[in-house]
Amino acid sequence: MVVATGFFDGVHLGHRLVLGQLVAAAKERNTSSTVVTFWPHPRTVLQDGARDLRLLTTLEEKKTLLREIGIDRVEIVPFTRAFSRMSTEQYLRDFLIGRLGAKTLLLGYDNRIGHDAGSPDQIQAVAEGLGLEVIRTDRLDLPGELTVSSTKIRHALEAGDIPLATRMLGYRYSLLGVVVAGNRLGRKMGFPTANMQLYEPLKLIPGNGVYHVEVETLGEKFNGMCNIGVRPTVGQGNAKTVETHIFGFDQDIYGLDIRVTFLEKIRDERRFGSLEELAAQLAADRDRCLALQAARK
């Protein structure tokens, strides 16, 4: 068995470079490929800046992405304080070798294994001392010397830079949730919206603004526009919402699943002087999205 271990938030292009080598190495050795990952995120357990932590993938999204790459087995390890105290040697010897039967370890350029983890060279020395074969991987840089990382993807999404986030992820970012009741103000202006409550509260929501999106609900895909923000035109102190207007759609989907996939940011959120001004801007936003949709065909 060939094993890679890590949190792999986003399963982005950098991860895919590592995981592609994992699948290839397993095939070369006529054995299986296994990813060992953790849940919840270590920072939420160790309280290391946990308040600011937002995830690129839910656990189910991560497992789906890993299997799509060709990983044979995904092992989810409950991350606890006791688990966090395991040394590099304990983790490799007792868990990877003893429990999983690992023979080969794929070691990423920034892998940290065990509470006393040193450099990848030191981890490799411990692993080989326990009889593990070690395969080292390099980091992935996009053109322009941009290193791919989960942190950089989070920053891009928070800034509304959807094209950059998409380049680093290797796929389009999306939110999954359930449709909940809103104030129906959009319907009164001719733009009914589906208000989303996320299934994973720690999932990162892109920065405030209006986005061209693809929407999946009722087993079908639609185009639409999504507003993320606090609706400053209708008052102050409003909670942040994710509201999506689906083009050519007027069915009751309260209580049903909805997935919103981000294609491009249209504009920042701003306050309008009246609901009439807001409605006029929403019409312009819709026209912009429809033009983008037509250009993609």
Query: How high is the pLDDT of residue 184?
Result: 67
Query: How high is the pLDDT of residue 147?
Result: 83
Give the max Cα distance, the chain: 71
CA-closest candidate to residue 224, choices 190, 251, 262: 262
Query: How high is the pLDDT of residue 73?
Result: 97
- Strands 2-5 and 104-107, bridge-based pairing: parallel
User: Model-level pTM?
Assistant: 0.92
In this prediction, the residues of the chain whose per-residue pLDDT falls under 70 are: 140, 144-145, 184-186, 188
DSSP state of 98: I
DSSP state of 70: T
Query: How high is the pLDDT of residue 129?
Result: 96
Query: How high is the pLDDT of residue 238?
Result: 83
User: Residue 10 and residue 25: Cα distance in Å, rounded?
Assistant: 22
- 60 Cβ contact list (under 8 Å, min separation 6): none
Judge contact between 35 and 5, C-beta under 8 A.
yes
CA-closest candidate to residue 148, choices 52, 40, 18, 244: 18
Respond yes or no on whether the N-terminal peptide bond of residue 40 is cis (omega within 30° of 0). yes
Query: How high is the pLDDT of residue 51?
Result: 80
Judge contact between 13 and 148, C-beta under 8 A.
yes
